[in-house]
Structure 1
């Protein structure tokens, strides 16, 4: 005789009977109530596992008017920086029993709008968003229309309409310029200038302030573009000029690693003849040769802070808007000619 298997879900009442407790006690175990004795809790949990009990979170969410899900909308999930940020968000989500839907806008405003609509249709509680290039007030209006609580991360469309978390990019660039000046560099170039969003603008503004403060040339600027590209022709022109640069601060680590490769292709010894500094302190930075000096922006910390801010907003929708700007750390390595040092 063939044995039949039931596809019906195991009920909490069945778990309670098997464990020899009341349904109310089994429910307290699910809610992790401290009122249940340790031995009883462990017995009920063992029965749940053995019988294959699945908690009906959907029904619980309906009772609480929360889904315990959030959206995370990023402009380029292939970029290692955003992997680090996502890890920080996930750490806080795990602590708060929250599940995250990750969406990739791919720097498209239209795609970003479609994703926000879909996230609303899935009834997420709120959204953490790094606005795509080209985002404007329409993005914030859409989020309000969709009644989606949100936190802007890394980039912001407006500074006074939402919670916001980022690194102090301008201060990070200023620290890098000051360090290069202290080590004798006077012809410092900035590679990756873009006027596409707030984070890019802050980098360039920090560079211009720092070189003006140290009375350095303000014309050694190479434009950047999508996918961490930069104007290689302009870079080579400056490099081959009669008064070439002696160092470069780059938009991010990925661009800096590309610059190091190009310098070495020109026969220029990075760390000796020419200093290079990146930004973000990705794992690839310390693994490069020579190891890359970088401005640590703490993407994982930014993710944690953004997730905490969103949960605080969901718990108290009327709370004052909060901006968290994390201080960057200059991490000095061999690409500047020195051993590792945190400053």
Structure 2
């Protein structure tokens, strides 16, 4: 989940144009499908923008959306949002629903997301059950609230199994295939390399598996791999990817419905909706004893 996407909506009778869509990950594409399906039923039109995790781009996009007199905003904020931006959102006096990233103080706005701590924990527990003890966590940015939560789940599972966490097995990277590929290449140079990889998201996992194949290592047999999100491609990749389902379409639909309620006049306290993830087991996460 690299770039956040502010999705600004208002009820109009004429058509609006989808502005500069840049869906760099399948997760956000699937989430946008959920937003569209929910809002189309209510007669809203969606304007899309992306910041590439740059605060100045976020500020510029939100200002532009305000000039369009939008009725509400659905957004996943960039890491490290300033107090000034938080105050601007309050002053606009329009509904704001946050999704995916929980970067702003709790209780300020509605929030829809997945339990990333539980997701990270169940991914690592699955690998531990397969006999793995050297488990790396690769991909993502340590500045991101999502990365921090998934790392917490990772460390909790290791600690519960009596395994001391090895910081050299934490390899952040861009949340892209190339990021995953480079991260796994780095890990393969480790004097005591891992036998399993927990990847920040599915796209990183795809890159990691490609990197393993380039080195003659068979994912799922020689090194187990688990992703996060369960985007559609995860079932089609070779080998099919074991992953944690994060339900992006459902998050998008929930966020859109919550925005609709706010735009209709719901003035209740901000709501926090956390979906429980599910582990989807496929062929990429073979047991350690099966590889010898």
The number of residue pairs the alignment matches comes to 273
Give the Å deviation of 1:132: 2.0
Q: Could you tell me which of 215, 219, 224 is aligned with 1:275?
A: 224
Q: Say if 1:229 and 1:198 are closer, same or farther in 2 by CA, change over 3 A.
A: farther
Q: Is 1:68 aligned with 2:14?
A: no
Give the Å deviation of 1:154: 0.6
Q: Say if 1:162 and 1:211 are closer, same or farther in 2 by CA, change over 3 A.
A: same
Does the Cα contact within 8 Å between 2:227 and 2:242 map onto a contact in 1? yes
| Matching residue of 1:146 | 92
| Matching residue of 2:4 | none
SS at match of 2:158: helix
Give the Å deviation of 1:171: 0.5
Give the Å deviation of 1:316: 2.9
| Matching residue of 2:135 | 188
SS at match of 1:336: coil
Cα RMSD of the aligned pairs, angstroms, is 2.6
Show CA shifts across 1:299-340 (max 9, x none).
0000001011111222234211100111111111110138xx
Q: In structure 2, how many angstroms separate the alpha carbons of the residues matched to 1:107 and 1:160?
A: 23
Q: Say if 1:293 and 1:96 are closer, same or farther in 2 by CA, change over 3 A.
A: same
Q: In structure 2, how many angstroms separate the alpha carbons of the residues matched to 1:169 and 1:205?
A: 9
TM-score normalised by length of structure 1: 0.73
Q: In structure 2, how many angstroms separate the alpha carbons of the residues matched to 1:211 and 1:276?
A: 16
Aligned pairs (5 A) from 1:185-264: 185-219=132-166, 220-225=169-174, 227=176, 230=179, 235-236=184-185, 238-264=187-213
Q: In structure 1, how many angstroms separate the alpha carbons of the residues matched to 2:70 and 2:233?
A: 34
Give the Å deviation of 1:73: 11
Q: In structure 2, how many angstroms separate the alpha carbons of the residues matched to 1:75 and 1:325?
A: 27
Show CA shifts across 1:22-74 (max 9, x none).
xxxxxxxxxxxxxxxxxxxxxxxxxxxxxxxxxxxxxxxxxxxx951699999
Q: In structure 1, how many angstroms separate the alpha carbons of the residues matched to 2:10 and 2:281?
A: 44
Could you list the runs of 5+ residues in structure 2 that have no partner in the other structure?
1-8, 288-292
Give the Å deviation of 1:152: 0.7
Q: Could you tell me which of 244, 247, 250 is aligned with 1:298?
A: 247
Give the Å deviation of 1:234: 6.4
Q: Say if 1:195 and 1:241 are closer, same or farther in 2 by CA, change over 3 A.
A: closer
Q: Could you tell me which of 108, 113, 122 is aligned with 1:175?
A: 122
Does the Cα contact within 8 Å between 2:54 and 2:78 map onto a contact in 1? yes
Q: Say if 1:296 and 1:126 are closer, same or farther in 2 by CA, change over 3 A.
A: same
Q: In structure 2, how many angstroms separate the alpha carbons of the residues matched to 1:308 and 1:94?
A: 11
Taking CA–CA contacts closer than 8 Å with sequence separation of 6 or more, which of the two structures ends up with the larger relative contact order?
Answer: 2
Does the Cα contact within 8 Å between 2:75 and 2:96 map onto a contact in 1? yes
Q: In structure 2, how many angstroms separate the alpha carbons of the residues matched to 1:221 and 1:75?
A: 32
Q: Say if 1:227 and 1:147 are closer, same or farther in 2 by CA, change over 3 A.
A: farther
Q: In structure 2, how many angstroms separate the alpha carbons of the residues matched to 1:307 and 1:188?
A: 37
| Matching residue of 1:312 | 261
| Matching residue of 1:27 | none
Q: In structure 2, how many angstroms separate the alpha carbons of the residues matched to 1:82 and 1:162?
A: 20
Q: In structure 2, how many angstroms separate the alpha carbons of the residues matched to 1:126 and 1:181?
A: 44
Aligned pairs (5 A) from 1:74-93: 77-93=23-39
Q: Could you tell me which of 263, 273, 284 is aligned with 1:324?
A: 273
| Matching residue of 1:97 | 43
Q: In structure 1, how many angstroms separate the alpha carbons of the residues matched to 2:218 and 2:177?
A: 23
Could you list the runs of 5+ residues in structure 1 that have no partner in the other structure?
1-65, 339-343
Q: Pick the structure with greater CA Rg.
A: 1
Q: Is 1:265 aligned with 2:214?
A: yes
Q: In structure 2, how many angstroms separate the alpha carbons of the residues matched to 1:135 and 1:106?
A: 14
Q: In structure 2, how many angstroms separate the alpha carbons of the residues matched to 1:302 and 1:143?
A: 21
